[in-house]
Amino acid sequence: MTELERLLKAKIPGERTGIEIKHSLCAICSPGHHCGLDCYVKDGVILKVEGTPDHPYNRGKICSKGVNNRQYVYRADRIRTPLRRVGERGEGKFEPVSWEEAYKIIGEKLNAVKAQYGPQAVAFFSGYCKWYRPLFHRFAYSFGSINYGTDDSTCNQASVVAGMVTSGAPAGPDTGRANTFLGWAFSGYYSSHLSIAGVRALKERGGKVIIVDPRITPAVKNLADIHLQINPGTDGALALGMAKIIIENGWADMDFIKKYTHGYEQYAQYVKQFGLEKVASICGLDPAGIMEATRIFATNGPAAINQSASTMVHFINGFQAFRAILCLSALTGNFDQPGGNFPNPPTYLHKPAGFKTREHEFYTCKKPEGQRRIAEGKFPVWDLMCDEFQAMDLARQIIEGTPYPVKAIFGLGMNVKMFPATDKLLEAIKQLDFFVDADMFMSQTAKYADIVLPSCSSLERSEFKAYQGGYAVLTKPVIEPLYESKPDTDILCELARSMKLGDEMLEKGYEACIDWIIDGCGLTVADLKKHDMPVPVPAAKPVQPGQYLAKGCKTPTGKFEFYSETLARFTKDCGLEPLPVYSDPLADENSDDMRRDYPFLLSTGVRVPNTIHSRLHEVPWARSLRPDPCCEINREDAAALGIAEGDDVALYNRHGEIRVKAKLTRKIKRGQIFMVHGYTEANVNLLIGEKHLDPYSGYPGFKGARCNIRKLSGVGE
């Protein structure tokens, strides 16, 4: 082997090899992360990816999902050209068309629906990614439709709304200055790997770590001083029981409570019913463990709470459970204090970076008046707090046509597997007059579209990103878009021109839109284009604990509300409770027949290191870590049912049945089954009913539903 051959094989960059390192970001995960990537490129082809060592966010680290970026980009099933359906919806039979022809068809079909039924009869829906959403939101409004929705209907927006009705803003943990870390469903190794360093540092300086989780996770094994292995969905009861202990032992910060909170008397009266033994029974915990965890949290301050962004709100009692946990921060005087939890206003795409943008104004300036959103009135808190429709009523409204018909959907990355009762949504899509979807791959959803448009990946486009700490970047493409694919924003802007929406900003293109959005921050797109790494934003001012309370909470009373006056508005007509009340996570599935026929509690969407949602299930490296869809079941339960490791089993309930492999474990309790979601061949969300929803947020009870399991004896079974 020659020296040059050795260098090429090792992918060493330099003039001799022709390999160049180009900077970008990883968009496989949520926009809260987007770690910096070094892409090794030769002759317009990505050879490998690594973390960027001097990136201000991840500093060279990438997770087991991020290392799959190259294989993700070069998946064999990339959509290569615009496609027009020639078979039945769902068959996946298409023929290629030009971009011009695709735009012409889309414009004609959407305008025909608009002319016959009104603009609100067209729904616009965004799945992953999120980077284009301000433009998509504006596109929907410029078209004239109020009906813009996103996967926020099932992801983490409910936790944001819970924070807003309680304290006026969501609040994150100040782990760096905490003495106690209370991780509630905290699974940093799998879903937020950069958060682990802060928890480790806390332990190294003598701090304590408490983790509440029904599973024994790497975070539990490596970090926890106390693990409360709670029964799924009983978190609200535990938080209220902890509050009772704190109050009775004189650990509540009464000076803070009197000065900064509202409704303490009602709250203190309510928690009296959550005695230690009762809570231990509900939660499946040792009373001594609850007592010790509460003592440490309340007396070893400052204490920070890290709640999972979505786990808690994926129970039908999850909205109030999230509130109950947040109330512990105010009860102990840790809210908006150093080392506690403090609000940090979002900069862009819900994420804080210490400076303001005009993102919200960018689309609300085009908001149509006088229209009623899909699901409006069914979830009034959502209606009040969210500028998009709650998509859990989308299928019903398409099928029933009330209170008005929905006849078309324009989707960007729409993913039906992220919905409960996926089969019902697909049946609804079949009834549409027109459906267009843009995606990188021929997804299950795209197979039902009349027109499919090929999107490109984050490594093939420019993308604006704001990072915590006061940084911003406009990435550059590291390769040209493959085949005939385009960035989603190019699709939107070109379509705005083709359809003659009359939106001058969209017609100018993505960079002009970003320039308008970031105006006033001290940087322009032209400034950002001079760099390929995040740069400090001149207008950025890091938010410090204490600033929020000093100005008054953004609540009706101006205080942290144990008793939510916002929720109180809907008590009489909708039955919503102002206090963070506890209710059964299986309240709608607790009949004697249901308990007998479906004795197991099913939690879907469990986090694993090799994938997020359905994004990497078809990527070879990621798939090799978990080749088959499988469900986790306690070893003793499996033995009682004659199930061995790797056996084919059926998971089923009244909503449907799927076939998976059994994965035996001691990391969960008996009576529970956990499963990763997002598989087309074994879509576990088929087992979640379309009415199994939290009445406050409209969120599905993905992590708390009844099911049963049986061993399959033969191929035909």
Rg (alpha carbons) of the chain, rounded to whole number: 25
Rounded CA separation 515/638 (Å): 58
Residue type, 512: A
Worst-scoring range by mean pLDDT, 216-220, 506-510, 611-615, 686-690?
611-615
pLDDT interval class at 128 (50, 70, 90): confident
The pLDDT of residue 304 = 98
CATH code of 3-73, in short, is 3.30.200.210
Q: CB of 255 within 8 A of CB of 220?
A: no
Identify whether the C-beta of residue 475 lies closer than 8 Å to the C-beta of residue 57: no
Tokens standing for residue 404: 């008005």
User: DSSP secondary structure string, 31-70?
Assistant: TTT--EEEEEEETTEEEEEEE-TT-TTTTT---TTGGGHH
pLDDT for 332: 99
- Identical topology for domains 83-156+349-536 and 587-711: no
- Taking only the tens place, the pLDDT of each residue in 488-524 is 999 999 999 999 999 999 999 999 999 999 999 999 9
Instruction: Give dist(CA 466, CA 348) in Å, integer.
Output: 7
Alpha carbon distance, N-terminus to C-terminus of the chain: 55
* More confidently predicted of 437 and 28: 437
In whole angstroms, what is the distance from residue 414 CA to residue 443 CA?
A: 9
Q: What would the mean pLDDT of 169-197 be, rounded to a whole number?
A: 92
Per DSSP, 230 falls in state P
- Average pLDDT, integer, range 672-689: 96
- Could you report the per-residue pLDDT of 36-47, keeping only the tens digit for each? 999 999 999 999
Q: Sketch the domain layout of the chain as residue ranges.
A: 3-73, 83-156+349-536, 174-342, 587-711
Domain 174-342 has CATH 3.20.20.105: no
What's the angle, vertex CA 649, arms to CA 643 and CA 650, rounded to 5?
A: 135
Read off the pLDDT of residues 562-600 as tens digits, 9 standing for 90 and up.
999 999 999 999 999 999 999 999 999 999 999 999 999
Residues in the chain: 717
Which residues have CB under 8 Å from 562's CB, separation 6+? 166, 261, 262, 263, 264, 266, 267, 327, 330, 579, 580
Predicted pLDDT of residue 665: 98
Rounded average pLDDT over 13-27 = 94
Query: Tell me, what's the pLDDT at 716?
Result: 55
At 528, list the tokens: 């950002």
Kindly indicate whether the domain formed by 83-156+349-536 is annotated with CATH number 3.60.15.10.
no
CATH tag, 587-711 = 2.40.40.20
The predicted structure's pLDDT at residue 190: 84
Q: Is 575 left (phi over 0), alpha (psi -120 to 50) or beta?
A: left
Taking only the tens place, the pLDDT of each residue in 293-302 is: 999 999 999 9
Q: Which residues is 535 bridged to in the sheet?
A: 472
**pLDDT tens string 187-212:** 888 878 888 999 999 999 999 999 99
Question: Over the stretch 231-273, which tens digit does the pLDDT of each residue have?
Answer: 999 999 999 999 999 999 999 999 999 999 999 999 999 999 9
pLDDT reading at 13 higher than 80: yes
Cα angle: 471, vertex 386, 132; to 5 degrees? 45
Cα separation, 123 vs 476, in Å, equals 32
Any idea which residue has 């990621």 for tokens?
622
* pLDDT tens digits along 599-620: 999 999 888 888 888 888 989 9
Sheet holding 36-42, edge to edge: 20-25, 36-42, 45-51
Return the pLDDT at 696: 98
**Cα(296)–Cα(291) distance, rounded to whole angstroms?**
9
Handedness of CA 378, 382, 388, 394 (dihedral sign): negative
Predicted confidence at residue 31, as pLDDT, reads 67
Contact criterion met (CB below 8 Å) for 472 and 534: yes
The per-residue pLDDT of the chain, averaged, comes to: 96
The answer to whether the peptide bond before residue 302 is cis (omega within 30 degrees of 0) is yes
Token couple for 692: 């199994």
For residue 10, the model assigns a pLDDT of 77
